[in-house]
Amino acid sequence: MSDNIYVWQNTSGWNAVEWSACGLTKLRFWLPDKSEAARGARSVSLESAPSFIRNAIRLLERYFDGARVDFDAIPVDMSGGTSFQSKIWTASRGIPFGHTVSYGEAARMAGSTGAARAAGTALGANPVPIIVPCHRVIRSDGSIGGFSIGVDIKTKLLALERR
């Protein structure tokens, strides 16, 4: 658990971001209650959060409102992942808003041709969905595939980006 957590509520539910000195480490969103978002941590004030966190929250709120948002400027601390996971997560950040790629394409983007299943596993461990847009990765047959926080949320995110 991080000492650096900010929790806020919007019309869709409770949200939380955690961070290190290197960048965003976790994002939880659209949760039903504050305690689930905070997971027992004491939230810091937004004013005391680093500027990249204030910017991330501003961009997330715009995204949740349906705006086309680019999260490239938000630093992500990928030190909690393996080398392979970091490569997949970094490559996935290059998938444009409103577009999708297959798991195999995501693996190729990361330089690991033939590693579609491994890419899916890495994306399932992504701690910062939306910022690292793993919801934009689907099966090669065009079906939705899995999502660590639920296929219904993945469907909602893809629909939000298609508006």
Closest-CA residue to 20 (of 50, 55, 42) = 50
Q: DSSP assignment of 56-92, as one string? A: HHHHHHHHHTT-----TTS-B--TTS-HHHHHHHHHH
Residues 33-81: tens digit of each pLDDT: 988 888 867 778 888 899 999 999 999 999 999 999 999 999 999 999 9
CA distance 141 to 145: 10
Annotated catalytic sites, by residue?
134
Tell me what pLDDT residue 2 has: 59
Buried/exposed code over 127-136 (b: 16+ C-beta within 10 A; e: otherwise):
bbbbbbbbbb
pTM of the model: 0.91
Closest-CA residue to 91 (of 116, 67, 62, 69) = 116
Mean pLDDT over the full length of the chain: 93
